C-alpha cells in the first residue's frame, strides 16, 4: 500500500500514512513532483527535468543540481523511482490527488463525479511561483487543463442533479463552476434554469444580467440566442405587469421652493432641494409625481391659487417649501404638505441647516424629509374614504396596513390587523409585488418576536417574499423589503445580494440599508452592520420601523463593547415605540453590561408589562442567556 499522499490541487502538500505533513521546502522539488505526477505512470527523462528547472546552467551543473534535489527528497520521502536516465513517481509508495481526480472526472457515475469535484480543492499548485520559463509554460498549461477538467465534471454533475430535480444541489455546484470559469455561458443558462425551477425567478433574471455583463467585459460579445431566449421565456412566464400600476394613484406636485432670503446664493439651493425631493418621491410606489416643467407652467399666471393649481394638475397633494436665512451661516428650510382639494395644511416641517455643511448635509436632509413625506402621505391615504375602484382600493388598503403599524406600534393586535389588510390587498391585486414583500417582512418579524406562531405563517411569508421578487425582480423597494424578509426567515447569505442590489438602484432606500445592517449582524460583521443601520436611520429618521432598527443597532454596539452608544440606541428604541417589547429586553441587556442590574430588572419588568405572556425562552431569542439570572429572580418561567 502507498505510504505517502501527494496533493497538488489547491496547493502543494505531501503527507505520510499517518497524516503527518512532510516538509518539501524546495520550490523546484515541488515542481518536479508535480511534473512526475502529471506523467504517471509513465517516466520522464532526467534531461527534460533538468531543462525545465535548470535550463540556464550547463548540462553537468544542471544534472548535479537535480541529483541534490533527489537526494534531499529521498531522506524524507522515498517516492521517486530513478532508473538510469528516467524518473517516475513511485505509485507503490505514493498516490497523487491529480491522478485520482482525472480518473474520476472522466466517469459518468454521479458518485464518482461527486468525489472528483470534492477533490478539486482549488487552483493547481496554487501559490507556487514559476520563475523558469519552461516550467512556467508547463504550469500554465497544466493549470488550464485541470481547471477545464473540473469545470466539465461540475457541469455534468450539475446536469445530473437538475435531471433529478435536485436544483439546490445544482445551484451550489454551478456557483463553484462559475467561480472557476465566470464567462461560461452554458453554466449561466443552467443556473438560470435551476433558479427558475426553484421559484427564484428574480435571481434567474439577475443571473442573465450578470452573464451579459461578464461576456461584454471579458469577451466583448452579447449572450447568444439560446441565453437570450431563456431569459425572455423566464421573464414572460412571470405574471404580467400589475394592472393597478399607476391607475387611480394619488398625484403629487412639488412646487418650486421660494427663496425668502432673496439672496442669489440661495436660489440654486432652493431649486436643488425642490428638484431632489421631486426626484426621490417619484421612486415611491403608490404615488405619481408631476414633472417640474408642468408644475411651473400651471402656476402661470396665479402661482398662489393652490386649489386652482391642484385642479389643473389633477394633484391630490401639493408640496410647498421655502428657504430663509435667520442668521449668517444658517439656512432655515420650511416644507408643507397641502391637501389639493381642500387647500389645507396636512403636515409641516421646519429645520435649520448649517450652510458650512455643504452638499452632504443637504443630501441627508432631503433623504430624511422625503421619508417623512412618504409616511405622512401613507397616513393621509389610509384615512381617505374607502370608495374606490379595485385598483385604487388595493393601494388604499396597502396604506391602511402600513398605518396599522405606524400608529399602533408592534403588537399582536397591530400585526393581526396589518396582515389581514395585506391579505385583502393581495386578494384585490395578486400581482402587487410590494404588498407581498411588506406582508412577508411583517410576518417574518412578528414570528421572530412571538407575535405570530406556527410553520404555516412562516411558509406564507416565504412564499410571498419569493412571489414579490418574481413579480418585481429589479425594483429597489421590493428588493429591500423582500430581502429583509428572507434574511429574517433564516437565509442571510441569499438576502445579502438582494439588499445590495436594492441600494445600488436607490442609495436612499432606508429600509434596504437597515435590513443590510441587520443581515450583517446575523453574519457577525458588526462594524459594517452598524454603519449600514446608521445610514438607514439617518435616511428615514421617523420611520415606523425605527424601534426595530435602533434595537438592532444597540445589539451590534453591545457586541463591540461600545456600551454608552448601545444605551443611547436602546433608549431611543424604547422611545420610538412604546409597545415594542424587544427594545426593553435589549435595554435590559445594556444595563446589565453596565452593571446597573436594578435598572435592568425594571426594563425587563416593562417588557413583561407590555407582553404579560413573555417567557424566559423568548427573552433568550434576543440576548441569549445573558439575562437568565435577572429573569429567574423576576419570576420568569
What pLDDT, in 10s, does the model give residues 234-253?
876 653 333 334 445 778 98
Write the CA distances from 556 to 444, 489, 583, integer angstroms: 20, 19, 13
Q: pLDDT tens digits for 66-111?
A: 999 898 888 878 889 988 889 999 888 899 999 999 999 999 899 9
The pLDDT value given to residue 468: 93
Q: Rounded CA gap, 219 and 621, in Å?
A: 50
More confident residue, 468 or 620: 468
Q: Pick the range with the lowest mean pLDDT from 143-147, 446-450, 542-546.
A: 542-546
Cβ neighbours, 10 Å, residue 472: 25
Quote the distance between the C-alpha of residue 145 and its chain's center: 35
pLDDT at 630 over 70: yes
The pLDDT value given to residue 382: 66
Q: Rounded CA gap, 382 and 390, in Å?
A: 15
pLDDT at 61 over 80: yes
Cα 16–17–22 angle (5° rounding)?
Answer: 10
Q: What is the CA radius of gyration of the chain?
A: 32
The pLDDT value given to residue 251: 85
Q: Rounded CA gap, 449 and 359, in Å?
A: 40
The pLDDT value given to residue 356: 59
- With 0-12 / 13-18 / 19 or more C-beta atoms within 10 angstroms meaning exposed / middle / buried, residue 275 is middle
Contacts of 202 (CB under 8 A, 6+ apart): 469, 470, 472, 473, 474, 479, 498
Q: What confidence category does residue 289 fall into, taking pLDDT thresholds of 50, 70 and 90?
A: confident
457 within 8 A of 479, measured Cβ to Cβ = no
The pLDDT value given to residue 2: 65
Q: pLDDT tens digits for 375-399?
A: 788 777 766 655 444 445 677 788 7
Q: pLDDT tens digits for 160-215?
A: 999 998 998 999 999 999 999 999 999 999 999 998 888 777 678 888 888 998 99
The pLDDT value given to residue 510: 87
pLDDT at 139 over 90: yes
Contacts of 414 (CB under 8 A, 6+ apart): 404, 405, 408, 579
The pLDDT value given to residue 247: 45
Q: pLDDT tens digits for 251-272?
A: 898 999 989 888 887 888 888 8
Q: Rounded CA gap, 424 and 407, in Å?
A: 20
The pLDDT value given to residue 240: 36
The pLDDT value given to residue 17: 85
Cβ neighbours, 10 Å, residue 181: 17
The pLDDT value given to residue 293: 73
- H or E stretch covering 322: strand 317-327
**Residues of the chain with pLDDT > 70: what percent?**
93
Phi, psi of 324 (to 5 degrees): -130, 170
Domains of the chain in start order, with CATH, are 1-181 (1.10.10.10), 251-382 (3.40.50.10610), 384-535 (1.25.40.10), 545-637 (1.25.40.10)
Instruction: Please state whether the peptide bond connecting residue 301 to the residue before it is cis, i.e. omega within 30 degrees of 0.
Output: yes
Pairing relationship of beta strands 251-254 and 317-327 according to DSSP bridges:
parallel
More confident residue, 143 or 453: 143
Cβ neighbours, 10 Å, residue 545: 25
Q: pLDDT tens digits for 527-559?
A: 999 999 999 988 877 676 788 899 999 999 999
Q: Rounded CA gap, 443 and 580, in Å?
A: 15
Mean pLDDT calculated for residue range 491-501: 93
Quote the distance between the C-alpha of residue 362 and its chain's center: 28
Q: pLDDT tens digits for 342-364?
A: 778 888 888 888 865 555 578 77
8 within 8 A of 96, measured Cβ to Cβ = yes
Amino acid at each position: 500500500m502507498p505510504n505517502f499522499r501527494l496533493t497538488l490541487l489547491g496547493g502543494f502538500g505531501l503527507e505520510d500514512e499517518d497524516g503527518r505533513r512532510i516538509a518539501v521546502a524546495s520550490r523546484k522539488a515541488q515542481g518536479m513532483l508535480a511534473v512526475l505526477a502529471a506523467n504517471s505512470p509513465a517516466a520522464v527523462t532526467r534531461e527534460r527535468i533538468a531543462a525545465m528547472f535548470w535550463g540556464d546552467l550547463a548540462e553537468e551543473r544542471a544534472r548535479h543540481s537535480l541529483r541534490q534535489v533527489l537526494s534531499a527528497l529521498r531522506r524524507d520521502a522515498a517516492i521517486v523511482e530513478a532508473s538510469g536516465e528516467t524518473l517516475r513517481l513511485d505509485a507503490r509508495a505514493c498516490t497523487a490527488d491529480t491522478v485520482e481526480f482525472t480518473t474520476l472526472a472522466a466517469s459518468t457515475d454521479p458518485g464518482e463525479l461527486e468525489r472528483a469535484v470534492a477533490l478539486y480543492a482549488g487552483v493547481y499548485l496554487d501559490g507556487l511561483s514559476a520563475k523558469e520559463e519552461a516550467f512556467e509554460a508547463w504550469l500554465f498549461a497544466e493549470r488550464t487543463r485541470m481547471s477545464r477538467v473540473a469545470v466539465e465534471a461540475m457541469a455534468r454533475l450539475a446536469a445530473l442533479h437538475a435531471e433529478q430535480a435536485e436544483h439546490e444541489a445544482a445551484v451550489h455546484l454551478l456557483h463553484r463552476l462559475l467561480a472557476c470559469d465566470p464567462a461560461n455561458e452554458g453554466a449561466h443558462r443552467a443556473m438560470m434554469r435551476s433558479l427558475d425551477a426553484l421559484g427564484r425567478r428574480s435571481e434567474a433574471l439577475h443571473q442573465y444580467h450578470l452573464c451579459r455583463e461578464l461576456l461584454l467585459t471579458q469577451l466583448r460579445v452579447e449572450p447568444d440566442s439560446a441565453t437570450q431566449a431563456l431569459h425572455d421565456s423566464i421573464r414572460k412566464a412571470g405574471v404580467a405587469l400589475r394592472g393597478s400600476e399607476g391607475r387611480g394613484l394619488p398625484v403629487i406636485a412639488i412646487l418650486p421652493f421660494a427663496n425668502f432670503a432673496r439672496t442669489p446664493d440661495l436660489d440654486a439651493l432652493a431649486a436643488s432641494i425642490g428638484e431632489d425631493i421631486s426626484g426621490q418621491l417619484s421612486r415611491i410606489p403608490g404615488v405619481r409625481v408631476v414633472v417640474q416643467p408642468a408644475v411651473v407652467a400651471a402656476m402661470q399666471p396665479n402661482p398662489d391659487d393652490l386649489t386652482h393649481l391642484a385642479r389643473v394638475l389633477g394633484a391630490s397633494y401639493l408640496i410647498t417649501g421655502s428657504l430663509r436665512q435667520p442668521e449668517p451661516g444658517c439656512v432655515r428650510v420650511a416644507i408643507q404638505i397641502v391637501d389639493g382639494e381642500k387647500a389645507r395644511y396636512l403636515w409641516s416641517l421646519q429645520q435649520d441647516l448649517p450652510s458650512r455643511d455643504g452638499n452632504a448635509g443637504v443630501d441627508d436632509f432631503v433623504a430624511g424629509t422625503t421619508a417623512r413625506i412618504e409616511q405622512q402621505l401613507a397616513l393621509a391615504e389610509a384615512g381617505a374614504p374607502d370608495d374606490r375602484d379595485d385598483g385604487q382600493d388595493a393601494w388604499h388598503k396597502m396604506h391602511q396596513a402600513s398605518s396599522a403599524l405606524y400608529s399602533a406600534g408592534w403588537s399582536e393586535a397591530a400585526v393581526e390587523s396589518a396582515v389581514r389588510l395585506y391579505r385583502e390587498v393581495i386578494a384585490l391585486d395578486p400581482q402587487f409585488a410590494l404588498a407581498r414583500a411588506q406582508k412577508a417582512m411583517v410576518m417574518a418579524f412578528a414570528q421572530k418576536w412571538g407575535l405570530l406562531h406556527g410553520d404555516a405563517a412562516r411558509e406564507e411569508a416565504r412564499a410571498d417574499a419569493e412571489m414579490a421578487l418574481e413579480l418585481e425582480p429589479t425594483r429597489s423597494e421590493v428588493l429591500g423589503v423582500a430581502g429583509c424578509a428572507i434574511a429574517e426567515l433564516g437565509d442571510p447569505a441569499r438576502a445579502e445580494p438582494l439588499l445590495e442590489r436594492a441600494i445600488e438602484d436607490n442609495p436612499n432606500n432606508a429600509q434596504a440599508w437597515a435590513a443590510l445592517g441587520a443581515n450583517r449582524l446575523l453574519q457577525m460583521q458588526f462594524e459594517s452592520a452598524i454603519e449600514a443601520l446608521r445610514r438607514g436611520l439617518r435616511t428615514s429618521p421617523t420611520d415606523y420601523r425605527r424601534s426595530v432598527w435602533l434595537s438592532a443597532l444597540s445589539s451590534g454596539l453591545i457586541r463591540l463593547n461600545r456600551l454608552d452608544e448601545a444605551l443611547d440606541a436602546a433608549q431611543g428604541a424604547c422611545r420610538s415605540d412604546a409597545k415594542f417589547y424587544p427594545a426593553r429586553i435589549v435595554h435590559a441587556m445594556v444595563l446589565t453590561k453596565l452593571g446597573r442590574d436594578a435598572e435592568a430588572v425594571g426594563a425587563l419588568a416593562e417588557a413583561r408589562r407590555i407582553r404579560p405572556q413573555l417567557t424566559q425562552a423568548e427573552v433568550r431569542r434576543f440576548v441569549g442567556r445573558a439575562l437568565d439570572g435577572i429573569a429567574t429572580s423576576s419570576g420568569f418561567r
